[in-house]
Amino acid sequence: MQRATIFGVAGLLLARVLFASAAEPVVGADLTLAEAVELAVRDNPERRSLRARWESMRERPAQARALPNPMFAYSGMDMADRGEWPDTNEKRFMVEQGFPWFGKRGLRRDLAIEDAETMRQELEAMTQDVVRRVKENYFDLQAVQRAIVLTREEEDVLQRMKTVAETMYAAGERSQQDVIKAQAEITLLKQKQLELQAQETTLKAKLNILLDRRADAPLVLAATAPPGAPEAEVPALFAHAEKARPEIKGAESQIRRSQMERDLMRKEFRPDVRLGLEYRDLARDDNMIMFTVGFDLPIRLSKYRAGVREAEKMIESGKAALEAAQRQTSFEVQDAHYKLLTARRTLDLYRNELIPQAEARFVASEAGYRAGQVDFMDLLESERFRLEARIMAAMAEGAIGMQAARLERAIGGR
């Protein structure tokens, strides 16, 4: 029986470990873009903090609608002279409950609901910002890593050029300056590699921080192609953003809240009601029960009028904020859409025209150098142009992913 129990517990623990490892992304392996986004949304500390605040505000509507606590009072009355204190001839037990004027409790609950909704929109905006930053850093890091690979490949090309220069110098066909120029170019390329590696380290640290990990944690990205061109036209993107953008929804929620605040302040002109029940214990007479009704006296009318005016100004402010959010959204959609299309056209230009031209120029220069028709500086210029064209294509590919992430954020979602 003990062995069976031990094996059963061990089996459950093993199954739990296997299930957890299958359910959560393995950061030690090549990290895909989807896994990076999932980890950031789940673990980002700023987002977790704001989510906890939103969840706490969701508990406020029940508190706002609740009646105030009833009041219990005990009092004793006896003759001032020859009284039997603390025992008295008359004892009073009273319970009193306050009731806000009709509609006040509902408005206070609705105000709390709108406050929670505004916080939810702030949470959604932060979530989309985190996703955008993750995607931007992911594609930027991927582009820099491709550039590093290209520079390492180019180092082999320069070593080959150096060997050719040394061979021709040994044969007396070229001067020693060509060999020195090749060595200097290799040194400059190593400096470029160091600069790219510094960028890579910085981008890895930024991405790790977004994933709530140490800045120096190991991070290997999975190869991810840039997203395709947006299928929708700009007017359709505008229409989607008007409905989905959290900043616009938050501004609309603020307007509704201010309108409810104005309605509540108008109801403050009405008195709240207090109902009470009193029981009297009389030593020398029959006991008595008394019912009491009381009203607040809302005589501070200037206070409530000021509250109404304040709410009306907040409505005006909310409408202006909504208009500003709509204008800012239209700009961001237009800007991101145009930059995404430009990045795609730039990449096509590099791949279809610039890189083939650079390859052809380099091949021709290399052949001309071997034949003694081209000097070494022309060969170096063609090599530099070829490398620069390939690096620009890698960066343009990363720019497509970054601009797609910004367009996604501008329209308020995928």
pLDDT value of position 371 = 85
Question: Which region, left, alpha or beta, applies to residue 212 given φ > 0 means left and ψ of -120 to 50 means alpha?
Answer: left
Q: Can you give the pLDDT at residue 8?
A: 52
Strands (E) in 176-287, as ranges, are 273-282
Which residue range is the domain that position 356 belongs to? Answer: 28-410
| CA contacts within 13 A on the Cβ side of 409 | 23
Q: Is residue 12 part of a domain?
A: no
Find out whether the peptide bond into 227 is cis, omega within 30 degrees of 0. Answer: no
Whether 7 is in a domain gets the answer no
**Model-level pTM greater than 0.85?**
no
- Given a contact cutoff of 8 angstroms between Cβ atoms, the answer to whether 234 and 337 are in contact is yes
The number of distinct structural domains making up the chain is 1
Residue 14 belongs to some domain of the structure: no
Place 340 in a pLDDT band, splitting at 50, 70 and 90.
very high
Dist CA 158 CA 107 (whole Å): 76
Q: CA 114, CA 314: separation in Å to the nearest integer?
A: 14
Angle (CA) 120 124 129, round 5°: 145
Asked whether residue 11 is assigned to any structural domain, the reply reads: no
d(CA 308, CA 370): 88
Q: What is the mean pLDDT of residues 47-53?
A: 94
122 and 64 Cβ atoms separated by less than 8 Å: no
Residue pair 159/189 in contact (Cβ under 8 Å)? The answer is no
Q: What are the φ and ψ backbone dihedral angles of 272, each rounded to 5 degrees?
A: -80, 155
Residues 124-149 have a mean pLDDT of 95
Is residue 17 situated within a structural domain?
A: no
Q: Lay out the sheet containing 90-99: strands in order across.
A: 71-77, 90-99, 273-282, 288-295
**Does 19 reside within a domain?**
no
Q: Which tens digits make up the pLDDT trace of 15-39?
A: 444 444 444 444 446 899 999 999 9
Judge whether 1 lies within some domain.
no
| All residues at 6 or more sequence positions from 203 whose CB lies less than 8 Å from its CB, including other chains | 137, 140, 141, 144
Residue 259 lies in a domain: yes
Band the pLDDT of 11: cuts 50, 70, 90: low
Q: What is the mean pLDDT of the chain?
A: 88
272 exposed, middle or buried (CB, 10 Å; 0-12, 13-18, 19+)? middle
Residues 105 and 65 sit within 8 Å (Cβ to Cβ)? yes
128 — pLDDT class (breaks 50, 70, 90) = very high
Across 114-151, b (16+ Cβ under 10 Å) vs e yields bbbbbbbbbbbbbbbebbbbbbbbbbbbbbbbbbbebb
Domain of 47, CATH number, reads: 1.20.1600.10
Question: Per-residue pLDDT averaged across 83-102, rounded?
Answer: 86
